């Protein structure tokens, strides 16, 4: 007497393999559609054109012989500037993480009476690599460098390096 098909091993084996492939493809589709890639830019053409403008700002900082002294301790950023810039002008400071957009910090800083720019961050910067940009409030010059936290004492950022 023969057993029914649903009591045998091979039909179930042949059914389960394609079902596993379907389940894996549905899970892969879910992963691909659940989060947008923040590193991909929609307006890539405008970003490419803005790159040339960025170079002129960097060259202007080199002409002004800009040097920034940065210290970061206990969620406090302290910054002093050297060079032929307007003393006491407002600056914008951007700490951008290479991969985690939600960790980015954008600061507008003004100098105190001693010419030191100080700011306390609401959330601390995580240790690791960061892209640092320091620019004039009017956008006339810019310093930028990849930095690595934690900083022991002071970090010196030279224009053109």
The tally of domains found in the chain comes to 1
Tell me the percentage of the chain whose pLDDT exceeds 90.
43
Which is nearest to 156 in space by CA: 134, 139, 126? 134
Residue 88 and residue 110 in contact, taking contact as beta carbons nearer than 8 Å: yes
Mean pLDDT in residue range 117-121: 92
Residue 71 included in any domain: yes
CATH number at residue 124: 2.60.40.10
Residue 80 included in any domain: yes
Tell me the percentage of the chain whose pLDDT exceeds 70.
87
Structure confidence at residue 139 as a pLDDT band (50, 70, 90): confident
Residue 146 and residue 132 in contact, taking contact as beta carbons nearer than 8 Å: yes
DSSP code of 102?
Answer: G
Structure confidence at residue 18 as a pLDDT band (50, 70, 90): very high
Query: Containing domain of residue 71, as a range?
Result: 64-158
Residue 141 included in any domain: yes
Residue 6 included in any domain: no
HEC per residue, 40-76 = CCCCHHHHHHHHHHHHHHHHHHHHCCCEEEEEEECCE
For residues 2 and 160, the model is more confident at: 2
Give the model's pLDDT for residue 133: 93
Is residue 73 predicted with pLDDT exceeding 70?
yes
Vertex 91: Cα angle to 69 and 139 (nearest 5): 115
Total H helices, total E strands in the chain: 2, 8
Read off the tokens for 34. Answer: 């659940």
Residue 78 included in any domain: yes
Residue 35 included in any domain: no
pTM: 0.66
Is residue 48 predicted with pLDDT exceeding 90?
no
Mean pLDDT in residue range 101-118: 90
Q: How high does pLDDT run on average in the chain? A: 86
Residue 4 included in any domain: no
């Amino acid at each position: 007497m023969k057993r029914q098909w649903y009591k045998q091993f091979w039909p179930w084996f042949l059914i389960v393999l394609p079902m596993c492939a379907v389940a894996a493809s549905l899970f892969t589709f879910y992963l691909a559609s659940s989060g947008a890639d923040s590193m991909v830019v929609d307006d890539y053409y405008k970003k490419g054109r803005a790159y040339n403008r960025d170079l002129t700002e960097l060259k202007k900082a080199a002409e002004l012989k800009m040097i920034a002294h940065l210290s970061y301790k206990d969620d406090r950023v302290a910054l002093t500037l050297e060079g032929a810039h307007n003393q006491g002008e407002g600056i914008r400071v951007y700490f951008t993480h290479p991969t985690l957009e939600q960790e980015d910090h954008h600061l507008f800083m003004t100098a105190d009476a001693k010419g030191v720019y100080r700011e306390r961050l609401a959330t601390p910067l995580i240790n690791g690599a960061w892209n640092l940009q320091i620019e004039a409030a009017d956008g006339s010059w810019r310093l930028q460098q990849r930095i690595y936290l934690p900083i022991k004492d002071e970090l010196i950022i030279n224009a053109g390096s």
